[in-house]
Amino acid sequence: MQFTTLPGTGISVSRLCLGTMTFGSPVAEPDAIRLVHDAAELGVNFIDTANMYEGYNRFAGSAGGVAEEIVGKAVAARRADFVVATKLGMKVGDTPVDENTSPEAIRVQLRRSLRRINTDYIDLYYLHRYDPNTAPGEIARAIGEELKAGTIRAWGVSNYSAEQLSALLAAAREENIPLPSMCQPPLSLLNTGALDALLPLCAQEGIGVIPYQVLQGGILTGKYHAGQQPPAGSRAAEKPDWMKPMTDEVYATLARVEAEAKAAGQSMTQYALAWALRQPAVRCVLLGVKRRAQLEEAAAIF
């Protein structure tokens, strides 16, 4: 396994990061815990979760917390061996602190995450989305307080535009707190928007990038073909509303990628991951799996 360091910290992380969005459903707790342990056996020490994650049972505003609790159980015996990232900012209830990144939300949601994961610190704490109702300076000050207290070791952003990140960086500098270490945008061979401005900004500022949806919800794994029903157990079969529409253009891209992967001697999964790793500022890639075999396939390129 290849390792890198979270920028601005001494935290060493595997370049493959295990995602947990499906922990709870369709990946039941015992299987999810086993996947974390399988990942560790393959050299993966980087685990990504969020306060909202609860698998396919998720709906807008539901309480979340399921994946964090599972992660807590999975890492309990070896907490120091894992780098755990979690997030706040998506709607997880009906009160003001349940759907923003205000200072109070940061204070409350972080402590809820700490309890669920059964830890006294979070290695990497993300703002899960841009909050238009909270000034960047207020967010930066609140994050700075948690860094100083040791409840978080580093911080990052997810789903921010280049313009939004620039404003937050200016606020962090004004407040004299460490800049965010990592940025987590969607990025894949089917979604390259982040390459236009966000990744160049991260490269310029020394911020690491860890893209999600690198396999576009499984579309780039080679399991989908024009004119065929999605295979049983696939996300398209189980949660089609979470999928990118399968247009003729998408199928044409898949055919091209499949040919390129074959020429490179890689599976489509490996080719898509390797492509993401070559993009500016990308330190790691985030991958959710259901089975150990999927982990092994991905880990083989690191």
What would the pLDDT profile of 90-115 be if each residue is shown by its tens digit?
Answer: 999 999 999 999 999 999 999 999 99
- Would residue 100 count as lying in a domain? yes
- Would residue 262 count as lying in a domain? no
Give yes or no for a contact between 187 and 276, defined as CB atoms under 8 angstroms apart.
Answer: yes
- Would residue 254 count as lying in a domain? no
Task: Give this prediction's pTM.
Answer: 0.94
> In whole angstroms, what separates CA 85 from the centre of its chain?
8
- For the chain, the domain total comes to 1
Residue 251 falls in the annotated catalytic set:
no
Pairing mode, strands 12-14 and 3-5: antiparallel
Beta bridge partners of 155: 125
- Per annotation, catalytic residue among 53, 125, 212, 224: 53
- Would residue 247 count as lying in a domain? no
- Would residue 246 count as lying in a domain? no
- Would residue 7 count as lying in a domain? yes
Q: For the chain, how big is the Rg over CA atoms in Å?
A: 19
Specify the pLDDT at position 239.
63
Residue with tokens 């967010």: 139
With vertex at residue 1, the alpha carbon angle to CA 178 and CA 49, rounded to the nearest 5 degrees, is 50
Residue-wise pLDDT for 31-66, tens only, equals 999 999 999 999 999 999 999 999 988 887 788 999
Kindly list the averaged pLDDT for each block of 10 residues, start to end, along the chain of length 302: 98 99 97 99 99 90 93 98 98 94 98 99 99 98 99 99 99 98 98 98 99 95 74 64 76 93 97 98 98 98 97
- Would residue 255 count as lying in a domain? no
Structure-token pair, residue 53:
């994650």
Q: In which domain, by residue range, is 155 found?
A: 3-217+277-299
* 263 CB-near residues (< 8 Å, 6+ apart): none
Structure-token pair, residue 245:
């529409």
Q: What is the CATH number of the domain that holds 34?
A: 3.20.20.100
- Would residue 260 count as lying in a domain? no
